Amino acid sequence: MTYMKRYILMTLSVSLLMMMGCGKKTGGRVLTSATGTIYECLVVSPKQPLSQESLNRIAASGIEHPTGSAYAEPVTTTYDLVRATLGEDMPCLPQMEPYFVLTHVSNAAFDDYLKPTRNILLVDINPEKYTQLKVRVSTDVWSHPQAVYRIQAASEEEFVDYWLQHGNEVRDWFVRQELQRQTAFYRANTNADARKVLQKEFGCDMLIPEDYMLIMDTTLSMQEADSVHLMWCCNNKGPMRRDVVVYAYPYTDPNTFTLDYLNAKRDEVLSRVITASVKGSYMGTEYKVFPPQMRNVQALQPKKDDGFYAAEVRGLWKIRNGEAMGGPYVSLTRLDQVRGNVITAETFVFAPGQKKRNALRQAEAILYTLQLPTDTIR
């Protein structure tokens, strides 16, 4: 055997071993690692313009011009309609950033090179292949970790109707996949000391990453008779700092799970413990530029698409009476029925001059691992 042949065989063997090592075995197959980065999505759909009838229905629905800063063109094609939802600006960020960064190819151009992409939305409209709408979701089809959402329609009108009714649900499904991938990483890299504090003092559990330091574990005496127990952790990474705060207090007010109550409680608690270098400064909430938004969500458990009720609040924090500091935050608030406590877990990001969507989403995934005594075991 010549030297060149031996070299080629050795190179191929090493490449094969690297592929096997980087991928994942499933069903007897070895999957390669997914391509792309977090919160990117490949949209595979027809390129031809939509009919005037479809455009009229889309305009009547209020989805006419995507709000995302990167996607400001009007809706004229199937991809434009998808883009108006997946590429919409994510709420309560100081800069305009879309839910997903999108790439588009036609159905004919979707080849083996693109199949390992991390997130894929496949839209196939073909009256010769389909007689009715079919929707299927899959994971790890061509790579790992991968999420694939298939929509197969017999007509353009059928797809448009589905998207107008369920487009936000499709977007939320892709977001859940990203959150669950992140929690899988945290499950293998947790801060044992922080979890012990949560289990002992709060009667709950949450996957605090191992690179987060435990800064504070204290009980605050409030103006009301009831006290608040608080734990504060931080990754303390200069240009992209992420903090997690958990605080618990007795459930006494039926209005607890309202935006006004949760905003007031946040300001009351965090102003006591989070300050800046200027004396008299404290953390507050931005109400004028981007007022906080609340919605009811499911606190997802890993590997499940169902979960437990939680109140999610998104907004912007700011330092009052001090330096010009601020950024986005997300909180999840749940009721611990065993101890009769309200538990709020919040993460906030400080990254001046940088985009913050990915950092906030990665930290937000921590909150979704919050587990109360009545929850099922992970």
Please indicate, yes or no, whether residues 26 and 165 belong to a single structural domain of this protein. yes
Average pLDDT over the chain, rounded to an integer = 86
Task: State yes or no: pLDDT of 120 exceeds 90.
Answer: yes
Residue 341 lies in a domain: yes
Give mean pLDDT, residues 76-89.
93
> pLDDT at position 329, please?
98
Please indicate, yes or no, whether residues 31 and 80 belong to a single structural domain of this protein. yes
Residue ending a domain, choose from 140, 171, 186: 186
Domain that holds residue 266: 190-367
Please report which confidence band the pLDDT of residue 23 belongs to, taking 50, 70 and 90 as the band edges: low
Give mean pLDDT, residues 70-84.
83
Task: State yes or no: pLDDT of 298 exceeds 70.
Answer: no
Please report which confidence band the pLDDT of residue 221 belongs to, taking 50, 70 and 90 as the band edges: confident
> pLDDT at position 27, please?
61
Please indicate, yes or no, whether residues 171 and 28 belong to a single structural domain of this protein. yes
Residue 11 lies in a domain: no
Please indicate, yes or no, whether residues 195 and 178 belong to a single structural domain of this protein. no
Please indicate, yes or no, whether residues 141 and 96 belong to a single structural domain of this protein. yes
Residue 372 lies in a domain: no
Please report which confidence band the pLDDT of residue 373 belongs to, taking 50, 70 and 90 as the band edges: confident
Give mean pLDDT, residues 296-310.
57
> pLDDT at position 65, please?
54
Residue 374 lies in a domain: no
Please indicate, yes or no, whether residues 228 and 287 belong to a single structural domain of this protein. yes
Residue 353 lies in a domain: yes
Q: Structurally, how many domains does the chain consist of? A: 2
pTM for this predicted structure: 0.86
Task: State yes or no: pLDDT of 26 exceeds 80.
Answer: no
Task: State yes or no: pLDDT of 237 exceeds 60.
Answer: yes
Of the listed ranges 65-74, 198-207, 227-236, the one predicted with least confidence: 65-74
Task: State yes or no: pLDDT of 2 exceeds 80.
Answer: no
Please indicate, yes or no, whether residues 180 and 80 belong to a single structural domain of this protein. yes
- Of 49 and 29, the structure prediction assigns the larger pLDDT to 49
Please report which confidence band the pLDDT of residue 220 belongs to, taking 50, 70 and 90 as the band edges: confident
Please report which confidence band the pLDDT of residue 59 belongs to, taking 50, 70 and 90 as the band edges: confident
Please indicate, yes or no, whether residues 173 and 302 belong to a single structural domain of this protein. no
Task: State yes or no: pLDDT of 63 exceeds 80.
Answer: no
Please indicate, yes or no, whether residues 120 and 34 belong to a single structural domain of this protein. yes
Residue ending a domain, choose from 136, 168, 186: 186
Give mean pLDDT, residues 162-184.
95
Please indicate, yes or no, whether residues 178 and 195 belong to a single structural domain of this protein. no
> pLDDT at position 21, please?
40
Give mean pLDDT, residues 216-222.
84
Residue 115 lies in a domain: yes
Of the listed ranges 11-15, 87-91, 322-326, the one predicted with least confidence: 11-15
CA–CA gap between residue 50 and residue 75 (Å, rounded): 9
Residue 377 lies in a domain: no
Domain CATH number, residue 237: 3.40.1000
Residue 4 lies in a domain: no
Q: In the chain, what percentage of residues exceed pLDDT 70? A: 85
Please indicate, yes or no, whether residues 169 and 26 belong to a single structural domain of this protein. yes
Task: State yes or no: pLDDT of 3 exceeds 60.
Answer: no
